[in-house]
Amino acid sequence: MKILGICGSPKGKKSTTRFGLEKALAAAAAVGVETQMLAIRDYQFSGCCDCGACYKELKCAQADDFSERLLPLLSDPDIKGMIYASPVYFGGVTAQMKAFMDRCVPFRRNGYLFEDRISGVLTVGRSRHGGQELTAMDLIKNCLIHGMTVVPDRSPTSHFGGMLWSGHPDGIEKDEKGIETAENLGKRVAEITLKIHG
Ligand SMILES: Cc1cc2nc3c(=O)[nH]c(=O)nc-3n(C[C@H](O)[C@H](O)[C@H](O)COP(=O)(O)O)c2cc1C
């Protein structure tokens, strides 16, 4: 049983979103599930062109990394939970995350293949109130449209998921409240995934 963390930042190891997602995945692993990080930046693909080819089969007409590498990776039956993580860009998800979410439409069109997965979301903004919750809603809408069950960060923080602030004067590592929401999110996704699929 695996929980897949999906990072929508264009940055590599220095990504603050990756930092938050790693906290969430570590907390999930501590509950007793396997975890895997998927960094969208490691794959070359663009958005969906609505050609309709995926209505017929779980296949995409665009010949790129999404078709060749991500379709098989995301089809892994061992994935029972997913955590979507994005930086806040103009109050919403990054272009990379949006392209990723749109390209996942073949999974919906071929029998709602994500439907039984448990999901949660995490966002990072440079401003304390820069649109983290709005960005979370972009990610939550995606999960709901796939039919997934979305869970919040676990009590006592329990709101919309992991919400972090990269503008902390001493760095995101000092955003203790934000890190707490990330860890509580990972815990909750793992706990519910185990309850449903364990
Ligand atoms: C094009 C662009 C738009 C941004 N818009 C916002 C915003 O609306 N609100 C906010 O709080 N931060 C905004 N930021 C800052 C990023 O959310 C912030 O630097 C975040 O920590 C980046 O995550 P990363 O390190 O994982 O890439 C923006 C950054 C860029 C490049």
CATH code of the domain in which 32 resides: 3.40.50.360
**DSSP E strands, 33-175:** 34-39, 79-87, 118-125, 149-150, 162-165
Query: How far, in Å, from the CA of 89 to the mean position of ligand 1?
Result: 5
Read off the pTM: 0.98
pLDDT for the residue numbered 139 = 98
pLDDT for the residue numbered 160 = 98
CA-CA distance, 6 to 20, in Å (whole number)?
A: 11
Q: Whose CA is nearest to atom 28 of ligand 1?
A: 89
φ/ψ of residue 138, rounded to 5: -55, -45
Q: Whose CA is nearest to atom 4 of ligand 1?
A: 89
CA-CA distance, 148 to 187, in Å (whole number)?
A: 18
To test ligand 1's pocket by mutation, which of 13, 86, 88, 98 has the most ligand atoms within 8 angstroms of CB? 88
CA-CA distance, 175 to 180, in Å (whole number)?
A: 9
Ligand 1 nearest atom to the CA of residue 18, by list position: 26
Q: Whose CA is nearest to atom 22 of ligand 1?
A: 87
Work out whether the CA dihedral 141, 143, 144, 145 comes out positive or negative: positive
Query: How far, in Å, from the CA of 159 to the mean position of ligand 1?
Result: 21
Domain count of the fold of the chain = 1
Query: How far, in Å, from the CA of 103 to the mean position of ligand 1?
Result: 23
**161 in the Ramachandran plot: left (φ > 0), alpha (ψ -120 to 50) or beta?**
left
pLDDT tens per residue across all 198 residues of the chain: 999 999 999 999 999 999 999 999 999 999 999 999 999 999 999 999 999 999 999 999 999 999 999 999 999 999 999 999 999 999 999 999 999 999 999 999 999 999 999 999 999 999 999 999 999 999 999 999 999 999 999 999 999 999 999 999 999 999 999 999 999 999 999 999 999 999
**Which residue type sits at 36?**
Q
Query: How far, in Å, from the CA of 132 to the mean position of ligand 1?
Result: 10
What is the extent of the structural domain holding 102?
2-197
Q: Would you say 82 and 124 are in contact if contact means Cβ atoms under 8 Å apart? A: no
pLDDT for the residue numbered 99 = 98
Helices and strands in the chain, H and E counts = 7, 6
Ligand 1 nearest atom to the CA of residue 166, by list position: 21
Q: Would you say 2 and 35 are in contact if contact means Cβ atoms under 8 Å apart? A: yes
Residues within 6 Å of ligand 1 by CB: 9, 11, 15-17, 87-91, 124-127, 130-131, 166
**Which residue type sits at 62?**
Q
Query: How far, in Å, from the CA of 55 to the mean position of ligand 1?
Result: 35
